[in-house]
Amino acid sequence: GAGVSQSPSNKVTEKGKDVELRCDPISGHTALYWYRQRLGQGLEFLIYFQGNSAPDKSGLPSDRFSAERTGESVSTLTIQRTQQEDSAVYLCASSLAGTNTGELFFGEGSRLTVL
């Protein structure tokens, strides 16, 4: 596909379980971003990749959150031992380079519900 693809689109899990969210960026985009959007809140930055390295992990809210990226391709965001406050829409975006051009291309998000 031409756009950023995220899966699953919806995930319902029980408290304490681990979840993996996947992002396929646009081909050729070297920069990849993960954001979280809680109900009624703005987008909260989580982590940024340039290639497969993560120069900015400052937004990860706790050590239960981790992310990896294979080359300049797929990224996985993993949340271990999920808590109810992790319920949110997780958005992935990619761009041609990690510069301040501001044009990020977003996927439709993965909605996570922790019961």
Partner 1 sequence: GNSVTQMEGPVTLSEEAFLTINCTYTATGYPSLFWYVQYPGEGLQLLLKATKADDKGSNKGFEATYRKETTSFHLEKGSVQVSDSAVYFCALSDRTSQGNLIFGKGTKLSVKP
Q: Which residues bind partner 1 (CB under 8 A)?
A: 3-4, 31, 33, 35, 40-43, 45, 48, 50, 55-56, 91, 93, 95, 97-109
Minimum separation from the CB atom of position 45 to partner 1 (A) = 5
First to last CA, the chain: 33
Minimum separation from the CB atom of position 74 to partner 1 (A) = 17
- Cβ-based nearer residue to partner 1, 14 or 42: 42
Minimum separation from the CB atom of position 10 to partner 1 (A) = 13
Distances (CA, A) of 100 to 2, 4, 31: 22, 19, 11
Closest CA to 82 of 59, 65, 57, 58: 65
Q: Which two tokens stand for residue 64?
A: 């239960």
